[in-house]
Amino acid sequence: YHVFFQKNANGPYMSRLHWGHISSENLYKWKEEKIAIDPSEPYDIKGCWSGFVYADDEFTKGKPYIFYTAVDNARATIAQATPADDDLINWNKRPDNPVINGCPPGMSSDFRDPYMFKSNGKYYMIVGSSKDNLGATTLHRYNPVSGTWSNDGSIFFKAKNASISGTFWEMSNITPMGDRWLFTTTPLNSGRQGVEVQYWTGNINDDGTFTPLPFFTNQPQEVELGDFGKDGFGLLSPSITNCDGKTIAIGIVPDK
């Protein structure tokens, strides 16, 4: 089992982040491995920030690929890395990085936290951003012929009300659940105290965009932690997966 995480080896500082790496054979005894990817190129010199790991038999030939937010001295782009060995210890950054060269026109300059999914045989990537001062996710379509991603300003899904769903969305996920899809995101600047994760369930359209079910059209739901949270501080930025018929979220619980 492999876990990758945001790490600054100099201390708990939100700057020039790397991808740390731990592994385990039994999920209780863990070994810290060498850093998987670090800020070593002009396009990521300010940090290898949040992203995701994706694997399937078609797109990655069974090997996990890392996609991450690469930040230089001026802007954020999306970059890719592939494993150099079966132990996932050494990684190679794609020589033609970045694979998505910055935020598309018409969006906020803040652009981060990619997530990839497959629907109806097509591959897509969503990235957190803002449009018209509302939280939004951009949509990028993969072209299997050219091996490139679109960046035309298409919107996967967007907030309707900033006071409810914020002015910026980060750490967005889209997860299949039976014949529906679960979309989750962490809104910023919603006016609410603390942190929260909002979710909608709905369908992926033929063009890769998301349409929520009527129940969720105007009012998203919040991932609740019962009595675990305090003063509005709940689950933050979860990673979500399907395993043995269950949908599992692993996230941050702020120490308040």
What are the tens digits of pLDDT across the range 180-192?
Answer: 999 999 999 887 7
Whether residue 99 contacts residue 127, with contact meaning beta carbons closer than 8 Å, is answered with no
Residue type present at position 230: K
Whether residue 234 contacts residue 221, with contact meaning beta carbons closer than 8 Å, is answered with no
pLDDT band for position 230 (cuts 50, 70, 90): low
Tell me the torsion sign for CA atoms 168, 172, 176, 182: negative
Rg (CA), the chain: 18
pLDDT band for position 72 (cuts 50, 70, 90): very high
Only one residue has tokens 């209780």, namely 28
pLDDT at 229: 60
Whether residue 233 contacts residue 224, with contact meaning beta carbons closer than 8 Å, is answered with no
More confident residue, 161 or 229: 161
Q: What is the mean pLDDT of the chain?
A: 91
More confident residue, 190 or 173: 173
pLDDT band for position 57 (cuts 50, 70, 90): very high
pLDDT at 221: 85
Helices in the chain by DSSP H: which ranges?
162-165
Strand 210-212 and strand 91-93: pairing?
A: unpaired
Task: Pick the range with the lowest mean pLDDT from 31-35, 50-54, 73-77, 218-222.
Answer: 218-222
Buried b (16+ CB within 10 A) or exposed e, 53-74: bbeeeeeeeeebbbbbbbbbee
pLDDT at 231: 65
Q: Quick one: which H or E segment has residue 41?
A: none
> pTM to 2 decimals?
0.93
pLDDT band for position 254 (cuts 50, 70, 90): confident
pLDDT digits (tens, 9 = 90+) for 177-220: 889 999 999 999 887 767 788 999 999 999 999 999 988 877 88
